Amino acid sequence: MNVRVLILLLWLPLQAAAQGFAGLGTDGAGFAQTDPDTRLQFPADHGAHPDFRIEWWYLTANLTGPDGTPYGLQWTLFRSALAPRDGQGWETPQLWMGHAAVTTPDAHFVTERLARGGIGQAGVQAAPFAAWIDEWVMQGADFDALRLRAAGPDFAYDVGLTAVGPLVLHGQQGYSVKSAAGQASHYYSQPFYQVAGTLTLPTGDVAVTGTAWLDREWSSQPLAADQTGWDWFSLSFDSGDKLMGFVLRGDTNYTAATWIAADGAATALPDGAFTATPLADHRVAGRTVPVEWQVTLPEQGVDVTVRAINPDAWMATSVPYWEGPVTIAGSHAGVGYLEMTGYDQ
């Protein structure tokens, strides 16, 4: 994905003098900088990059219950470094934050965890792959077969993920530009997971199947100072094709997108190729948030209406945002996920 949220980060210190959403536009001096010549190496790059300021492992899934009810699932691990170094014990500057959510057509369950690196409470290792915070885990022998678990006070889930397609590198070989001024991140995805497992909800256990999309991204300054939020779409069409696109809202909007063919072939699209226009707003948590969009990508003949399955999918976390499953209608049909940040009260 792209500019996936990253929140926390530094919530208190940076918010005072924050630039961009959640401080993501703050100068990353002292940290490693993104480089267009970097070539991603696997499995090493599945692991953490502590020299970069922020990083995330971001999984969203569109699921269906036995009765056809659509569900959304989110599992996210954020890493945020207070200083460009690693370390053991409590002294480490590496902080971790987990968000887990389940969305049903009429309910949205969210919970958050925070942890310090260095004591084993949270972390990521590349191979065999494991990402964890507290008892929440995403792990497996390799990146293509993972088990995913999380729980909150009122919900839990335990699902298996099996990749049926290749990793997809966004932008230029995984170097994804975020603004006309050149802010960028390293960004790749695994959008081809098949999912099967169980959701535990207040009403009982639900067996679910569906698809999931995992985003990996790291940077030290992904946003330009004037960029205050973004609208990000991951769309899976019934044809098997997929589309990742985002609008970064600033003094002038910046868009980027990746067209992913059913066989995994990726085409990066330049600023302006992808458009997203709000069609209907919704009041949630004291904010007005667009929950119905017209999304176009003329190059691929895409002109669709994207609609939230549950418009109240508000993430009431340390840094709040909207994240939830969507349905797609129009030139293409399908399901996907929508993330919207920077909608202030």
Residues that bind another protein (CB under 8 A): 10-13, 16, 82-83, 89-91, 93, 95, 111, 114-116, 119-121, 132, 134-135, 151-156, 200
Handedness of CA 81, 19, 110, 149 (dihedral sign): negative
Closest CA to 30 of 1, 50, 58: 50
How many Å apart are CA 305 and CA 284, to the nearest integer? 21
Q: Using the minimum distance from each CB to another protein, give the nearer residue, 37 or 91.
A: 91
Tokens coding 59: 């999984």
Min separation Cβ 88 and another protein, Å: 11
Q: Using the minimum distance from each CB to another protein, give the nearer residue, 149 or 282.
A: 149
Dihedral (C-alpha) 81, 85, 86, 91: value to the nearest 10 degrees?
Answer: -80
Closest CA to 166 of 306, 266, 66: 266
Min separation Cβ 153 and another protein, Å: 4
Min separation Cβ 117 and another protein, Å: 10
How many Å apart are CA 105 and CA 322, to the nearest integer? 15
Min separation Cβ 9 and another protein, Å: 10
Which contiguous run of DSSP H or E holds residue 204? strand 204-219
**In which residue are the tokens 């293409």 written?**
332
Which contiguous run of DSSP H or E holds residue 227? none
Min separation Cβ 92 and another protein, Å: 8
Q: Using the minimum distance from each CB to another protein, give the nearer residue, 85 or 282.
A: 85
Asked whether the beta carbons of 193 and 57 are under 8 A apart, the reply is no
Min separation Cβ 122 and another protein, Å: 9
Q: Using the minimum distance from each CB to another protein, give the nearer residue, 120 or 298.
A: 120
Q: Using the minimum distance from each CB to another protein, give the nearer residue, 68 or 89.
A: 89
Start-to-end CA span in the chain (Å): 25
Q: Using the minimum distance from each CB to another protein, give the nearer residue, 93 or 264.
A: 93
Tokens coding 33: 């900088």
